[in-house]
Amino acid sequence: MICEKILLTSWYNLLKFMDVRIAQDWKEILSEEFSKPYFTELVEFVRAEYAAGEVFPKGRDIFRAFDKCPFESLKVVIIGQDPYHGVGQANGLCFSVGEGVPFPPSLQNIFKEVNTDTGAPIPTSGNLDRWAEQGVLLLNAVLTVRAHQAASHAGRGWEQFTDAVVRAIATRKQGVVYMLWGSYAQRKGAIADPNNNLILKSVHPSPLSSYRGFFGCRHFSKANDYLASVGREQIVW
């Protein structure tokens, strides 16, 4: 019991130290994960990294995906891999960028497919808060990264944590749309039951692969058709 309290204290210290924000229902669902030894080690690593140099996203945005999309509201899961490592890009939601930031290539391709698929105009902002607030969990497998060093925080515990997130969704919710783009996301989302959810798979929207099946996948209209079929409100993409 004493050990568990120490581990949870480490998590709450991170919340306070970085002004991290996360929806209350996610805090409760993930409380067991926050109390595990690996997560305490991860917290200490992350705190040291932010103290030593430039790390993205901003500390308060590390758990932005869980703040903007409470568990109760969740309807769609999109899985990314690593935050953008360029200055001013990462904002805590996979594929998303802040207001006024030029669209990275993968995000450009996502918007192109949305436009072709649904007719929605390509937006002027790459900030995907508007999706998250409608119930789209935009989850990176790794939630932090050192500036200009892709995958620099991989293998430190984030993957174990986000595996637990996907597992929590898969065991507690049905009627969820999983958009799994690329082999990495497909492996991470493999736990989801295709009999009780909609599993949409394609290649990654990166320019290296987008013409091999991402363009024309029609995932956005398929997601909305499925949500309507299970009595849930559709997403305004």
Q: Which residues are catalytic?
A: 82
CA distance 66 to 137: 7
CA distance 79 to 107: 13
**What letter does residue 140 receive in the DSSP assignment?**
E
73 contacts: CB under 8 Å, gap ≥ 6: 134, 135
Q: Which helix (H) or strand (E) holds 208?
A: none
CA distance 64 to 6: 25
Judged by DSSP in three states, 180 sits in: strand
* Strand residues in 68-218 grouped as ranges (E): 76-80, 136-140, 145-146, 177-181, 198-202
